[in-house]
């Protein structure tokens, strides 16, 4: 692990081991390597598919090029970065590095003129970022799905545990812990499905998107069709109509969907934090952990707080990316370039948050003693049931009667039963209400 306390981002020091997979997808190394692979693949594509216009390439040369790609590592990155210092152009540095390799081979040196043929750097970048974001999103879907699985497991485990709901922070009609957790897994399932349907897009059409260089060089080739075939070999779709840049609308769609996933998880993190604060959930003690530097008794809900903070960071970045990346002056300006380099940071903070949330969820357990006490001390929540039965039996002022009895007051079992017995309703309805308790008044929550 390349670890340094001198890195400015906590993702590259404190949390480095928690986002290692995303670092492999979004790092500078990954970006350079992706550009490198695309440049070589494009040359091979031309020579293999359009031999009438481009010199065919032998199996032995193909083997050399594939080995060149497969062996790409840190030393190659360092050499490319050294060239970039001279060129002050990152994509051109990749091209020159490939040229130097070709120069050293008596066969490949005959193909130097086809390196970066017809391309603008934005073509290479467009496909590179499409691949990186595609892979990063797939990883993020995997992490969100793992979290959903934990939520679903706990939902099923605690499906029969009744507890007091809160609306506006006040006691409300009881539910079950399982059903309330199921709300979050269902929301996640829907949004993950939406995210999966977003199609990554790229362009490969030269400066200002009109295939100028391709058409002037060989007008016999259907270049939009060729471009589409090449892009789709990476399982990325072609955006046929662009300026010099691919407009990034699909990136904004992706990040907006990721934000909605983040918000679902943020909502859950805050709810669980409140449940812990109200002793509805208790945290399992982990040997060796310290809750507070000065208060030994504390077991802090730090995993949920960490998740909340990092989800917020990810959302803030996504909001800026979505707003910024979909705008470019005229046929292009370069302000999107430096912004795109930071996209992986948003994924990193979201991933970090999901890890923390999953860790926290595996530490909580329902505090049945407190849950039962809350239900036993809030019989007034049954007034909803009572006034509904009264309405059913034709009592016009049912709500007003219950309001006078319970608004701003606490009812206990005795006062509830006493009131029900005074009601002018059928014996069947009265028996139903007398059997009802805050524990049993959960509607269809268990089925849901």
pLDDT at 297: 45
282-290's contacts with Cβ under 8 Å and 24+ in sequence apart are: 282/364, 282/365, 282/366, 282/367, 283/363, 283/364, 284/363, 284/364, 284/365, 286/363
pTM metric for this prediction: 0.91
Q: Which residues are catalytic?
A: 168, 292
Concatenating the DSSP letter of every residue in 349-369 gives HHHHHHHHHHHHHTTEEE-HH
Structural fold of domain 10-117: Fumarase C; Chain B, domain 1 (1.10.275)
Cα 31 to Cα 1, 34, 72, 132, 227: the distances in Å are 19, 5, 12, 8, 21
CATH architecture assigned to 377-435? Orthogonal Bundle (1.10)
Domains 129-204+247-367 and 377-435 share a fold: no
Asked if residue 260 lies in contact with residue 315, where contact means CB atoms within 8 angstroms, the answer is no
Largest CA distance in the chain: 103
Domain locations in the chain? 10-117, 129-204+247-367, 377-435
Q: What is the pLDDT along the chain (448 residues), one digit of tens a residue?
A: 555 677 888 888 888 889 899 999 999 999 999 999 999 999 999 999 999 999 999 999 999 999 999 999 999 999 999 999 999 999 999 999 999 999 999 999 999 999 999 999 999 999 999 999 999 999 999 999 999 999 999 999 999 999 999 999 999 999 999 999 999 999 999 999 999 999 999 999 999 999 999 999 999 999 999 999 999 999 999 999 999 999 999 999 999 999 999 999 999 999 999 999 999 999 986 555 555 544 444 468 899 999 999 999 999 999 999 999 999 999 888 888 999 999 999 999 999 999 999 999 999 999 999 999 999 999 989 988 988 988 888 888 877 877 777 677 778 899 889 889 988 889 999 999 999 999 999 999 999 8
Domain 129-204+247-367 belongs to what topology? Answer: Fumarase C; Chain A, domain 2 (1.20.200)
Closest CA to 310 of 253, 245, 355, 377: 355
């Amino acid at each position: 692990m390349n670890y340094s306390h001198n890195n400015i981002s906590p993702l590259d020091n404190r949390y480095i081991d928690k986002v290692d997979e995303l670092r492999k997808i979004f790092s500078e190394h990954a970006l350079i390597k992706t550009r490198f692979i695309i440049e070589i693949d494009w040359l091979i594509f031309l020579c293999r598919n359009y031999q009438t216009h481009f010199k065919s390439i032998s199996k032995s040369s193909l083997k050399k090029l594939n080995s060149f790609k497969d062996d790409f590592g840190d030393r190659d990155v360092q050499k490319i970065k050294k060239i970039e210092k001279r060129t002050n152009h990152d994509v051109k540095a990749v091209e020159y590095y490939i040229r130097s390799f070709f120069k050293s081979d008596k066969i490949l040196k005959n193909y130097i003129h086809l390196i970066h043929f017809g391309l603008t750097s934005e073509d290479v970048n467009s496909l590179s970022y499409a691949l990186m974001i595609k892979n990063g999103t797939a990883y993020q879907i995997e992490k969100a799905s793992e979290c959903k699985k934990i939520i679903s497991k706990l939902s099923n485990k605690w499906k029969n545990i009744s507890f007091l709901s809160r609306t506006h922070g006040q006691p409300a009609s009881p539910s079950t812990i399982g059903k309330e957790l199921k709300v979050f897994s269902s929301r996640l399932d829907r949004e993950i499905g939406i995210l999966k349907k977003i199609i990554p897009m790229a362009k490969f059409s030269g400066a200002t998107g009109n295939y100028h260089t391709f058409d002037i060089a060989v007008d016999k080739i259907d270049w939009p069709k060729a471009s589409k075939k090449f892009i789709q070999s990476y399982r990325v779709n072609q955006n046929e109509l662009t300026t010099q840049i691919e407009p990034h609308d699909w990136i904004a769609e992706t990040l907006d969907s990721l934000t909605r996933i983040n918000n679902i998880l943020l909502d859950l993190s805050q709810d669980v934090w409140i449940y812990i604060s109200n002793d509805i959930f208790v945290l399992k003690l982990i040997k060796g952990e310290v809750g507070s530097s000065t208060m030994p008794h504390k077991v802090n809900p730090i995993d949920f707080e960490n998740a909340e903070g990092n989800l917020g960071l990810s959302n803030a970045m996504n909001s800026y990316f979505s707003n910024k990346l979909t705008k470019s002056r005229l046929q292009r300006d370069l302000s999107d370039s430096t912004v795109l380099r930071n996209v992986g940071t948003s994924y990193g903070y979201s991933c970090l948050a999901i890890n923390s949330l999953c860790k926290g969820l595996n530490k909580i357990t329902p505090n049945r003693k407190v849950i039962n006490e809350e239900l036993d001390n809030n019989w007034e929540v049954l007034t909803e049931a009572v006034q509904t039965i009264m309405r059913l039996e034709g009592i016009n002022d049912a709500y007003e009667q219950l309001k006078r009895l319970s608004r701003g007051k606490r009812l206990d079992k005795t006062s509830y039963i006493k009131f029900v017995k005074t009601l002018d309703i059928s014996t069947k309805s009265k028996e139903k209400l007398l059997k009802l308790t805050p524990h049993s008044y959960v509607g269809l929550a268990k089925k849901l």
